[in-house]
Amino acid sequence: MSVKKLTDYHGKPFGEFQRAAWLRDLLTDVTGRPWLIENTGEGFIVVGDGNPEISGTGKTSDESNRKRRSFQPVTLHPALRTSLPFYLPLAMLGVYMALNPTGFLSRLMTFQLFSPLSEFLDVNIALGWIGLIGKALMLLSILAVVLPWLSNRYIVSPEGVEARAGIIARDSVQVRFSDIRSIGLRQGLIDRLLGVGTLEFSSAGTGGVDVRFINIPSPMKIRQWIEKLMSYYG
């Protein structure tokens, strides 16, 4: 008999006792074997038999519904770090232009392409435009990083997985655990370096991908966590 130690989808102990207690009660009810909560000092983990035999008498429909109601949906977002390599240099350029327009103009005039313009250039107007463009670059960089995080939400609930897109007008696509046929993981080289990836959920009723969790952190751990939930709720 092997001992199984369960954590949250990040691979870390549960921060709240109630979440660990919910999983303990669910496993005890489904398997007919006792599961315990262990305090590691950093949080709570659920410990029990790693090879349980499913009990046919322990689970009732009322108890199953109670477990579903006690489960709090988890909301995920795209990782912010996926946008930083592209927009951080642009934001830094904007900061430099906004805070030091004189230095930026001096460096610009050192290039042979722009040096003839110095005879016709109104310095005060040029400095004003450089500062304005710098502030615009900073604002656009912040929006380019924050808007995808705000407008995309990926929800894991007792019913299944759901992807919501949009801030004002929202689109939503959901797949129930019982309908999920496969969970694919797309992760390129840069994604691996950043620790992000895209999960693709395909249902039995379609030939393609129904729901995508795009650029989420720790995609492998989240997929394993969702697969465990599928075995409980599917």
Please report which helix (H) or strand (E) contains residue 36, including its range: strand 36-39
Q: How far apart are the C-alpha atoms of 179 and 184, rounded to whole Å?
A: 15
Q: How far apart are the C-alpha atoms of 83 and 215, rounded to whole Å?
A: 10
> Partners of 107 in the beta sheet?
none
2-16, 94-108, 117-131, range with the lowest pLDDT = 2-16
Confidence grade of residue 207 (pLDDT, cut at 50, 70, 90): low
Confidence grade of residue 170 (pLDDT, cut at 50, 70, 90): confident
Q: How far from the centroid of its chain's Cα atoms is residue 35's Cα?
A: 30
The stretch 176-195 carries a mean pLDDT of 90
43-47, 87-91, 113-117, 152-156, range with the lowest pLDDT = 113-117
What tens digit of pLDDT does each residue of 6-46 get? 676 667 787 777 777 777 777 776 666 777 787 787 887 88
The stretch 180-194 carries a mean pLDDT of 91
pLDDT of residue 53: 45
* 44 CB-contact burial (10 Å; exposed 0-12 / middle 13-18 / buried 19+): buried
pLDDT of residue 49: 59
**Pairing label, strands 74-76, 44-49:** unpaired
How is the beta sheet containing 44-49 ordered, strand by strand?
Answer: 3-6, 44-49, 36-39
More confident residue, 29 or 168: 168
Instruction: Please report, for the chain, the start and end positions of each structural domain, with discontinuous segments joined by +.
Output: 1-72, 80-149
Give the CA angle between residues 217, 231, 23 to the nearest 5°: 75
The reported pTM is 0.63
Q: How far apart are the C-alpha atoms of 31 and 53, rounded to whole Å?
A: 6
The stretch 102-124 carries a mean pLDDT of 79
Under 8 Å between Cβ of 175 and 234: no
What tens digit of pLDDT does each residue of 34-82 get? 777 877 878 878 887 555 444 444 444 555 555 555 567 888 999 988 8
pLDDT of residue 229: 84
Q: Nearest to residue 220, comparing CAs of 184, 189, 176?
A: 184
Q: What residue type is assigned to position 182 of the chain? A: S
200: phi > 0 → left, psi -120 to 50 → alpha, else beta; which? beta
The stretch 168-184 carries a mean pLDDT of 87
The percent of residues above 90 in pLDDT, for the chain, comes to 31
CA 57 vs CA 28, 63, 84, 113, 233: distances in Å: 12, 12, 53, 82, 17
Confidence grade of residue 155 (pLDDT, cut at 50, 70, 90): very high
Mean pLDDT of the chain: 81
